[in-house]
């Protein structure tokens, strides 16, 4: 069984990104758009990525990595 504690870091990061990048979007709207992006742009099935890969995909979707680069 996977360690359930891994979820804390995932949900904390997901919460921060949702609040910062998409504060006006409802949860269902966000997830629907994000999953559509994964299917169409990344050609991935959302069933398989582990939490660390999923949060990396979400950061890419948000443009968080580009924002971080521009701060440097």
Which of 40, 44, 18, 43 is closest to 31 using CA atoms? 18
* Predicted pLDDT of residue 70: 64
Let me know: does 62 contact 21? Beta carbons within 8 Å. Answer: yes
* Predicted pLDDT of residue 68: 63
Q: Which domain holds residue 27?
A: 12-71
The verdict on residue 2 lying in a domain is: no
The verdict on residue 3 lying in a domain is: no
Total domains present in the chain? 1
State how far the Cα of 55 lies from the Cα of 58, in Å rounded to an integer: 5
Low-confidence ranges of the chain (pLDDT < 50): none
Residue located via tokens 């924002």: 67
The verdict on residue 43 lying in a domain is: yes
* Predicted pLDDT of residue 45: 96
The verdict on residue 17 lying in a domain is: yes
Enter the tokens of residue 55. 């949060």
| Angle, in degrees to the nearest 10, between helices 51-62 and 27-37 | 100
* Predicted pLDDT of residue 25: 98
* Predicted pLDDT of residue 1: 86
């Amino acid at each position: 069984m996977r360690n359930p504690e891994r979820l804390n870091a995932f949900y904390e990061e997901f919460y921060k990104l949702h609040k910062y990048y998409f504060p006006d979007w409802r949860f269902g709207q966000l997830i629907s758009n994000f999953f559509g992006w994964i299917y169409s742009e990344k050609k991935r099935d959302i069933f398989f990525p582990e939490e660390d890969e999923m949060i990396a995909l979400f950061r890419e979707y948000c443009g968080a990595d580009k924002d971080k680069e521009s701060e440097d």
